[in-house]
Structure 1
């Protein structure tokens, strides 16, 4: 038998079923097929995915640990409904990361890489005009990831990847509302990257991410309007009041 001086030979292991179920449920949540606040019934999810209830239960625990699902004792599991504060904080961090990505991309992108961005942008605009929200959201995510990749900063890429899924979750409900303007902003960003104008690329990306943040928070406010403050009536002073 051959000897392996570098240590034990690594044998590829199959992905645990709970992780496959985790990924499937997460995609259903991000795409909106499982809606925010929806009660997640283990038996129904198991039938949908063609698995037993055990990996579904384990996957729900994993999703709960990452903030996608809320577990309520005695009631069950529910898709998490992000608060305005959660969304605002995450989208603010996203703006910081992607602004820096755009700035660095303008310094490093080659002509061939710029053409790839233009192709993605054209496909995204076509999907938007066709009303294909799923494709629009997927291409939006792909274009932003491509800009981050062009930054040539691996740490920045890792950090951006950590928030990208949740950003896609937030973007899906407002993709139609952002419409053509989002892709027009993308086109302007790509022009700045092509020109090697790092300052302009950063400015456009900052405004672009801020527009999405504002639209999302506006939509959230429409869905969950703040309760009016109770009117406090002043008691009339009587003769016994001092």
Structure 2
């Protein structure tokens, strides 16, 4: 365990090329959304700079950007802390997610062909394996990929762009309940695939709405650390 509380191996390698401040931003955002850096955790510039192998300046710039976007709280005379989302913030975000993804499911049922359905089935198999192995990190990633694929199959670029804006926050809220949702989440994914394959737009909409609502309720009912 590193001094800032990061598990060994959790720090992502910075991709090159690209502005250093952007790469540091992406690395820190990934650590936050995967909860390697946990809500409320103190973020020490010098320590983060050491872990990422950079100077303090790009870390400071990244923290300022993350503060602007609501991922980090900068407190006078105290420093930077990972934002602790309120129940209201979570409820608003997950409600918006339900609206976007229910429409995506309907459009996917109308538009998806055999290759698209096969891709969903493959992701579902991988997700079920992750759950069986109790690999929560993989389950969170595969859950995001599954929903992104449904959005892709919907074929609506504007809808996909809107969903992309909330994707990382959805992962942030899903991570604490991934184990709690477990196998049931992928059972619901199977039901959704069947509705999309059968081109049943109303059923696909209802299943996705119920599915995302279950995640919202699970977040509010989750055990607190």
Match of 2:199, SS state, is coil
Larger Rg: 1
Q: Distance in 1 between matches of 2:60 and 2:224?
A: 30
Q: Name 1:163's counterpart in structure 2.
A: 166
Q: Distance in 2 between matches of 1:121 and 1:223?
A: 29
Q: Distance in 2 between matches of 1:178 and 1:188?
A: 15
Matched, 1:60 2:63: yes
Deviation at 1:63, TM superposition (A): 0.4
Q: Name 1:179's counterpart in structure 2.
A: 182
Match of 1:77, SS state, is strand
Structure 2 unaligned runs (5+)?
1-15
Q: Distance in 2 between matches of 1:112 and 1:155?
A: 23
Q: Name 2:23's counterpart in structure 1.
A: 20
Structure 1 unaligned runs (5+)?
1-12, 225-242
Match of 2:18, SS state, is coil
TM-score by length of 1: 0.85
Q: Name 1:136's counterpart in structure 2.
A: 139
Deviation at 1:223, TM superposition (A): 2.5
Match of 1:89, SS state, is helix
Match of 1:199 among 202, 211, 225: 202
Match of 1:88 among 91, 116, 121: 91
Q: Distance in 2 between matches of 1:112 and 1:31?
A: 30
Matched, 1:116 2:116: no
Deviation at 1:14, TM superposition (A): 4.8
Match of 1:40 among 39, 43, 61: 43
Q: Distance in 2 between matches of 1:34 and 1:125?
A: 26
Matched, 1:150 2:153: yes
Q: Distance in 2 between matches of 1:87 and 1:32?
A: 15
TM-score by length of 2: 0.92
- Provide, for residues 184-219 of structure 1, a one-character-per-residue CA deviation record: whole Å limited to 9, x for no partner: 000000000000000000000000000000000112
Q: Distance in 2 between matches of 1:49 and 1:166?
A: 23
Q: Distance in 2 between matches of 1:113 and 1:14?
A: 33
Runs of 4+ in 1 over 4 A off after TM superposition: none
The size of the alignment, in residue pairs, is 210
Q: Name 1:74's counterpart in structure 2.
A: 77
Q: Distance in 2 between matches of 1:129 and 1:33?
A: 22
